[in-house]
Amino acid sequence: MGMSGLKLLKYVLFFFNLLFWFCGCGILGFGIYLLIHNNFNLLPSLTLGNVLIIVGSIIMVVAFLGCMGSIKENKCLLMSFFILLLIILLAEVTLAILLFVYEQKLNNYVSESLTDSIQRYHTDNSTKAAWDSIQSFLQCCGINGTKDWAGHPPASCPSDPQVQGCYAKAKLWFHSNFLHIGIITICVCVIQVLGMSFALTLNCQIDKTSQSLGL
């Protein structure tokens, strides 16, 4: 690969990471918005806002290393970018395996947390807002049905007495969109592998260029 090829690879990697840096900013901003407005906080130890803030921050850091490493042709930053992407990819694979192995325990944990959140519906505004949003969006009521609510169900529950519970409705939504979720997951993994390949190739080319120039 000549100098023109090196420049092309450098700018492809730069713009690739710049795009993801902006995506990270958007995810981080949305996470902060959800955290401020206390929406979708049914699981106290794992709120959607916190997850998006963590994911957005990681994307921004990794993309920044990729941008600076490529445009400056800095081998240290490029290898840091490569190693972080590798760690994230391995973490994703490990998480997928753990979710598969401990699926039943996860289901029990989610069910118990949702039961606790129902009990806080009338005392915690963020929990109330989360339940109202989810029940309106999924057209469901409670965890397993209207019987989960003591007395009258909230106004956000559909009027149909045979309405499904939100837990079953959420699982149904997940299974019906499993193909799309799988495609998105595979695309993310492919993009990570491509980013790692570009970084490693650029790093090797910088070495070769330095040797050919006698540096």
CATH no. for residue 109?
A: 1.10.1450.10
Closest CA to 146 of 165, 129, 128, 130: 165
Using CA atoms, how far apart are residues 36 and 18, in angstroms rounded to an integer?
A: 27
Residue 128, pLDDT score: 84
Q: How many domains does the chain have?
A: 1
Which among 61, 59, 73, 74 has a CA at the least distance from the CA of 20?
A: 59
Q: What is the pTM of this model?
A: 0.76
Per-residue pLDDT of the chain (215 residues), as tens digits, is 556 777 888 888 899 899 999 999 999 998 888 777 765 556 555 677 788 889 999 999 999 999 999 888 888 999 999 999 999 999 988 988 998 888 888 888 888 888 888 888 888 777 888 888 888 888 889 888 888 887 788 888 988 778 888 888 888 888 888 888 889 888 888 988 988 998 988 888 877 776 666 55
d(CA 145, CA 12): 52
The pLDDT of residue 181: 83
CA dist 155 and 151 (Å) reads 12
The predicted structure's pLDDT at residue 61: 94
**What's residue 168's pLDDT?**
85
Burial class (CB in 10 A: 0-12, 13-18, 19+), 49: buried
Question: How many residues comprise the chain?
Answer: 215
Query: In degrees, to the nearest 5, what angle opens at C-alpha 72 toward C-alphas 70 and 73?
Result: 60
Residue 132 lies in domain: 3-213
- Return the pLDDT at 81: 93
Q: What is the DSSP string of the chain?
A: --HHHHHHHHHHHHHHHHHHHHHHHHHHHHHHHHHHHT-S--STTS-HHHHHHHHHHHHHHHHHHHHHHHHTT-HHHHHHHHHHHHHHHHHHHHHHHHHHHTHHHHHHHHHHHHHHHHHTTTT-HHHHHHHHHHHHHHT--TTTSGGGSSSSPPTTS-S-TTPPPHHHHHHHHHHHTHHHHHHHHHHHHHHHHHHHHHHHHHHHHHHHHHHHTT-
- The whole-angstrom separation of Cα 31 and Cα 37 is 10
